[in-house]
Structure 1
Amino acid sequence: MTISDYASLLVDAGAYAGREDIAHLFPRFVSLAEQKLNRTLRVADMEKAATLALTEGEGTLPTDFLEARQVLAPGKRVLRARPLAELTVLATSGGAPVGYAIVGDRIRVRPRGAAEMEITYYARIPALTAADPSNWLIDKAPDVYLYGLVEEIAIWERDAAKAGAAETLKRQAIAGLGLADERLRWGNAEIVIGGLTP
């Protein structure tokens, strides 16, 4: 059977783990696997863009925000992340923004002001559930899900050998996904050496 959605993932994961008897726990295992993937995986399919309205130099990040990829000030000028302590001592109002910091679920830009920022960011993997049985990750790399779920089942069973084997397979699947992502982004890119050349 090909893994194409939530139901087929659960069937295959139960067969791989030899534990069809705990299917009622599978939604928890899928959620745990997704949490681990959200902490480490960064590929093009996770990228989204949003416009954030700032008030007094602060705005609320999207609810699925994981990490900033690019932040643009008005006029399409790239802003760099700055340490919060450094940002705090910058002028409090007026002038063009010079940097940003992420504080909880908010972005803080200084100097303060009202503006709209464009942000490209890595978004959480859309949760896979019975109600939402498909997402980009299961379409592109169902093996990542499969081995992640088998790993969570093995952890629940307290079977270190099985968990280690599943974790190794998951890492290999993630590495393959990462390689495909690099090829997608940089496949025919040219190497350009900056600065003075002889």
Structure 2
Amino acid sequence: MTISDYASLLVDAGAYSGRDDIAHLFPRFVALAEQKFNRVLRLAGMEKAATLALAEGEGSLPADFLEARQVLAPGSRLLRARPLADLTVVATAGGAPVGYAIIGDRIRVRPRGAAELEVTYYARIPALTAAEPSNWLIDRAPDVYLYGLVEEIAIWERDAAKAGAAETLKRQAMAGLGLADERLRWGNGEIAIGGPTP
């Protein structure tokens, strides 16, 4: 059977782990595996764009925000992340933003003002559930989900050998996914060296 959705993932995870008697715990295992994926993976499928409205130089980040990839001020001017201490010494009012800092679930720019930022960011992987049985990750890499789920089952069983084997398989699958993602993004890209050349 091919893994194509939540139900088929659970069937195969039960078969691979030898535990088809704990189906009631599978939602917890899937959620734990996804938390680990979100900490490590940064792939094209995770990218989203949003317009963030600022008031007094601050705005709320999207609920699924993990990490900024690009932040543009009005006029498509690129902003760089700056240490919070650097932003506090910048004039508090007037002028174009000079940088940003992430504080909790908010973004702060200085100088303060009302503006809109165009943010390209990495979003959390949409949760796989019985109600939402598919997402881009299970479509592209069902093996990542399978080994992640088997690892969580083994951790729950307190079986270190099984957990270690599943983690190794998961890491290999994630590395392969990362390589495929790099090829997708940069397959025929050219190297450009910035700055003056001799």
TM-score in same-fold range (> 0.5): yes
Identify the TM-score tier after normalising by the shorter chain: over 0.9
How far apart are the structure 2 equivalents of 1:197 and 1:38?
40
How far apart are the structure 1 equivalents of 2:152 and 2:85?
39
- Shift, 1:89, TM fit: 1.3
Q: 1:39-76: per-residue Cα shift (whole Å, max 9, x none)?
A: 11000000000000000000000000000000000000
Q: 1:148-167: per-residue Cα shift (whole Å, max 9, x none)?
A: 00000000000000000000
- Shift, 1:194, TM fit: 3.2
Q: Are residue 102 (structure 1) and residue 102 (structure 2) matched?
A: yes
How far apart are the structure 2 equivalents of 1:98 and 1:49?
21
Q: Output the TM-score relative to the length of structure 1.
A: 0.98
Unaligned runs of 5+ in 2: none
Mapping for residues 31-110 of structure 1, pairs under 5 Å: 31-110=31-110
How far apart are the structure 2 equivalents of 1:141 and 1:195?
39
Counterpart amino acid of 2:33? A
Which 4+ stretches in 1 moved above 2 angstroms?
Answer: 192-198
Q: Secondary structure at the match of 1:56?
A: coil
How far apart are the structure 2 equivalents of 1:197 and 1:87?
33
Q: 1:94-146: per-residue Cα shift (whole Å, max 9, x none)?
A: 00000000000000010000000000000000000000000000000000000
- Shift, 1:196, TM fit: 4.0
How far apart are the structure 1 equivalents of 2:130 and 2:70?
34
- Shift, 1:190, TM fit: 1.2
- Shift, 1:191, TM fit: 1.6
Counterpart amino acid of 1:100? Y
Q: 1:8-58: per-residue Cα shift (whole Å, max 9, x none)?
A: 000000000000001100000000000010011000000000000000000
Q: Output the TM-score relative to the length of structure 2.
A: 0.98
Aligned residue for 2:140?
140
Moved more, 85-94 or 6-15: 85-94
How far apart are the structure 1 equivalents of 2:180 and 2:156?
31
Query: How many equivalent residue pairs?
Result: 198
How far apart are the structure 2 equivalents of 1:162 and 1:83?
42
Counterpart amino acid of 2:192? V
Identity of aligned residues (%): 88
Unaligned runs of 5+ in 1: none
How far apart are the structure 2 equivalents of 1:69 and 1:193?
21
Q: Secondary structure at the match of 2:129?
A: coil
Counterpart amino acid of 1:19? R
What is the aligned-residue RMSD (CA, Å)? 0.8
- Shift, 1:88, TM fit: 1.1
